[in-house]
Amino acid sequence: MTDARPMEKLRSDEAVGGAGLDSHAAVSGRRSTARRQRSNRARRAKNGLAGSFSRIAKLSYGEASTGNALIQGENLRVLDTLQRGYAGRIRCVYIDPPYNNQERYRHYRDTRSHEAWLDMMVARLLAIRPLLAKDGSLWISIDDREIHYLKVAADEIFGRENFVTTVVWQQRTTRENRKVFSNNHEYLLVYAIDQREFRARRNPLPAGPELLARYQNPDSDPRGPWQSVSANVQAGHGTASQFYDLVAPSGKVHRPPSGRCWVYTKEKMRREIAAGNIWFGKTGQGVPRIKRFLNSSKVGLTPETLWPASEVGTNDEAKKQLLRLFPDEGVFDTPKPEGLIGRVIEIATEPGDLVLDAFLGSGTTTAVAHKLNRRYIGIELGQHAVTYCAARLRRVVNGDATGISNHIGWKGGGGFDFYRALG
C-alpha cells in the first residue's frame, strides 16, 4: 500500500453520482471523465511533456537488461506511458491501493473522500486493463469499507462475466478487543481479461503429501507411481460405441453399471488394455479402472477462496520481516506477507511472465516476483521507492533469506533497473 495523497486527485466537482456509487450511470460517468483525462495525458506524453523515464545507474543493481524495472513516479502517468510498450503483455497485476479507511499511517495518509477515492481507482483500473494479456488477471487487495463500491466499478470496467472470485485472507490471528468486532480478514478481488482464457491457464496449488500419497505402484509399473480413476461415465452423453461387454485379460466379462457407459469405445479400450493402462485389481478380477501416472499428470489442488494465515502469513509476520530487513527504517503499518503475494503470482503466472504492481509500497511484489523467476515492473512515487523498494531488491539479488526464500530455496542472482519518470 502506498501514498494516496501525492497522486493526481480529481476535483470534488468532477465526481459523478453523488455521495456513493448507486448506479451504472455513476460508473459510466467516472469512466468518461477518466478517459478524457487519459486522452489528455496521452497527448502530453506524445508531445514529450510527460511520460518518459530516466534510468538511474547508481540505483540499478545486479545483472543488466533483465526486463525487471522499478519506476519512481506518479502511478497513473506511468501506467499511461507503459501503454506504448507493454499493452497486452502483462500476465498479472497485483495492487494494494489505499483502502480509504480514514487513517493516518507512518508512510501515507488514507483520508480521501469516498468520491475522490473511487475516481482515483476507476482511473487506474482503466489504465491497467489495456496492459493485461488475454490470459492475464488483476488482483486487488481491499477491505470492507470500499470493497462493494470497488467491485461495481471493476465489474463495469472488466465486465461482470470476467469477475473470477473474491478471496478472503485471514490477515491477523489475534483478537482485537478495542473494536465492536475483531476484524481478522481482508479480501482480494480477482478479475480476468477473458475468464475462459484465465480458467484454462491458471495454475493449481502445489500438491501436498496427502494428494501425492494417492499415487502408488502396486504392479511395479516401470512408468512409476499412478492412481486409478473410474473407467465408466454417465450414459447421458454416451454413444452406441460406448455400450459393450468388456472382456478382461483374465477372461472375466464386465458390464458398465446401470445408467453408465465405458469412457472409451471398444476398440480404444482394447488398445489401452494392451498398453497396460487399465487396472483390474491385484487378482485381475476387479472392476476395470484407468491408470493415471504421476509423471504425466499436472498434479495440484484447485485454489480455494479462503486463505488462512497458517498458509500465506499475516500483516504482523510481514512487519517482522521488514524489521529484520530494515531495522533503522520506519516500518510500514500494513505490509503484505511474501506468502500471500507468492500464492497470487504462482496461481496467475509462469516463470518468465511479467508481473506489475502500481502501488508498490514496501516492495513485496517485486521481491517475490524476483525470487519466483518472474519479470516485473514496480511503480512507487515516494522516497521509499529508493529507501525500501530498491534497497529490498538489492538484498534479494544478494540472496535475502527472509520471507519465502527458505521455502523455495532462493540463493540470489539476477538484477533490476531503476527508472525515474520525467515530466
Give the residue with greater pLDDT, 126 vs 40: 126
State the DSSP string of 119-186. HHHHHHHHHHGGGEEEEEEEEEEE-TTTHHHHHHHHHHHH-GGGEEEEEEEE---S--TTSSS---EE
Identify whether residues 273 and 190 lie together within a single domain: no
Which residue(s) pair with 302 in the sheet? none
Q: Are 122 and 31 in contact (CB under 8 A)?
A: yes
Q: Domain check: are 262 and 322 in the same one?
A: no
Report the pLDDT value the prediction gives residue 175, as an integer from 0 to 100.
92
Domain-terminating residue out of 256, 272, 296: 296
- pLDDT score of 47 more than 80: no
Q: Are 76 and 115 part of one and the same domain?
A: yes
Give dist(CA 361, CA 334) in Å, integer. Answer: 10
Q: Quote the pLDDT of residue 191.
A: 98
- pLDDT above 90: residue 256: yes
- CB 204: neighbour CB atoms within 10 A? 13
pLDDT on residue 16: 28
Domain-terminating residue out of 296, 313, 334 = 296
CATH of the domain at 404: 3.40.50.150
pLDDT in tens, 368-398: 999 999 999 999 998 889 999 999 999 999 9
For 164, list phi and psi in degrees, rounded to 5: -90, -55
* Domains identified in the chain, total number: 2
pLDDT digits 0-9 by tens, 199-242: 999 999 988 788 888 999 999 999 999 999 999 999 998 999 99
408 plus 288 within the same structural domain? no
Which stretch of 6-10, 106-110, 125-129 has the lowest confidence by average pLDDT? 6-10
Which domain-ending residue is among 269, 296, 323?
296
Q: Give the pLDDT confidence score for residue 102 in this predicted structure.
A: 54
C-alpha cell at 87: 499493452
Computed over every residue of the chain, the mean pLDDT equals 88
- Report yes or no on 228 lying in a domain: yes
The answer as to whether 236 is a domain residue is: yes
What is the DSSP secondary-structure string of 224-242? --EEEEESEEEGGG--GGG
Q: Judge whether residue 46 has pLDDT over 70.
A: no
Tell whether 370 and 413 lie within a shared domain.
Answer: yes
State the residue range of the domain holding 291: 209-296
One domain, residues 385 and 308: yes
Band of pLDDT at residue 299, cut at 50, 70 and 90:
confident
Whether residues 310 and 284 share a domain: the answer is no
Statement: residue 192 has pLDDT above 50: yes
For residues 291 and 311, state if they share a domain.
Answer: no
Backbone φ and ψ for 417, nearest 5 degrees, come out as -110, 140
